[in-house]
């Protein structure tokens, strides 16, 4: 293919993506792409460390576990973005080009159910939902103050939202790990075994300082 032909194709592609008439559909493509990239960037280093520290097996088996976790995270985020943005476009079309205040809630509800709520609950998807849930709880406490639902004289509620949330979260997880460890999510349980339970036993300097017995 000649250079002039290549330049003509590049110009046509640029014209297409910059055409306002194509903006809505292209936001779906860009959103899906961003989900793949962000999911990969977030999960790969996490999976690399967790598998290296807490999983047994051959190098190939560990590499497969890292790949699977990264793929799941990237795929899940990209599908949620696609579902959410498609729903928002549909709702805006239904409302004659206007976005109503509850549209984002409905689109998120549908995306959450289709992408995260149905089928097998993988550990990766559970971690994503728990991450979102934690941030939502803190934000809702601040929103309640902002809307006047909870009086906040001197900003005491807003300022203490994080300390209260952090304290209760750790109190509950340590109680569960101590008395009902089988109920704690597997990757978190493995981390806590390494940090707390494995610190109780050693047979010499080697497994005291270098590695756990």
pLDDT digits (tens, 9 = 90+) for 43-57: 999 999 989 888 889
Give the count of beta carbons closer than 10 Å to the beta carbon of residue 102.
Answer: 10
Distance from C-alpha of 86 to C-alpha of 92, rounded to nearest angstrom: 10
Distance from C-alpha of 42 to C-alpha of 131, rounded to nearest angstrom: 13
Task: Quickly state the pLDDT bin for 168 (edges 50, 70, 90).
Answer: confident
Count CA atoms within 13 Å of residue 23 on its CB side: 4
Distance from C-alpha of 99 to C-alpha of 109, rounded to nearest angstrom: 16
Identify the pLDDT of residue 38. Answer: 95
Identify whether the C-beta of residue 74 lies closer than 8 Å to the C-beta of residue 115: no
> pLDDT digit string (tens) for 126-167?
999 988 998 898 888 888 888 878 776 656 666 777 788 888
Phi-psi region of 102 (alpha: psi -120 to 50; beta: other; left: phi over 0): alpha
Identify the pLDDT of residue 156. Answer: 67
Q: Environment class of residue 165 by beta-carbon count within 10 Å: exposed (0-12), middle (13-18) or buried (19+)?
A: middle
The pTM (predicted TM-score) of the whole model is 0.79
Identify whether the C-beta of residue 47 lies closer than 8 Å to the C-beta of residue 65: yes
Identify the pLDDT of residue 70. Answer: 96
> pLDDT digit string (tens) for 178-189?
999 999 988 788
Identify the pLDDT of residue 158. Answer: 64
Does the pLDDT value for residue 4 go beyond 90? no
Q: Considering only CA atoms, which of 105, 89, 87, 85 is closest in space to residue 97?
A: 89
Identify the pLDDT of residue 186. Answer: 82
């Amino acid at each position: 293919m000649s250079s002039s032909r290549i330049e003509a194709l590049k110009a046509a592609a640029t014209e297409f993506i910059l055409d306002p008439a194509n903006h809505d559909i292209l936001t779906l493509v860009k959103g899906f792409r961003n989900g793949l990239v962000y999911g990969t960037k977030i999960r790969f280093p996490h999976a690399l460390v967790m598998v290296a520290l807490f999983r047994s097996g051959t190098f190939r088996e560990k590499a497969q576990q890292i790949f699977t976790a990264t793929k799941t995270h990237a795929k899940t985020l990209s599908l949620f973005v696609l579902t959410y943005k498609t729903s928002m476009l549909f709702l805006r079309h239904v409302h004659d080009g206007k976005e109503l205040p509850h549209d984002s809630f409905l689109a998120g509800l549908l995306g959450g159910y289709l992408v995260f709520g149905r089928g097998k609950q993988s550990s990766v998807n559970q971690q994503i939902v728990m991450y979102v849930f934690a941030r939502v709880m803190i934000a809702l406490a601040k929103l309640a103050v902002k809307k006047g639902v909870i009086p906040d004289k001197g900003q005491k509620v807003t300022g203490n939202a994080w300390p209260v949330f952090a304290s209760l979260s750790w109190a509950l997880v340590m109680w569960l790990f101590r008395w009902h460890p089988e109920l704690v999510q597997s990757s978190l349980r493995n981390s806590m075994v390494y940090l707390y339970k494995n610190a109780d036993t050693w047979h010499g300097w080697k497994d005291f300082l270098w590695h756990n017995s």
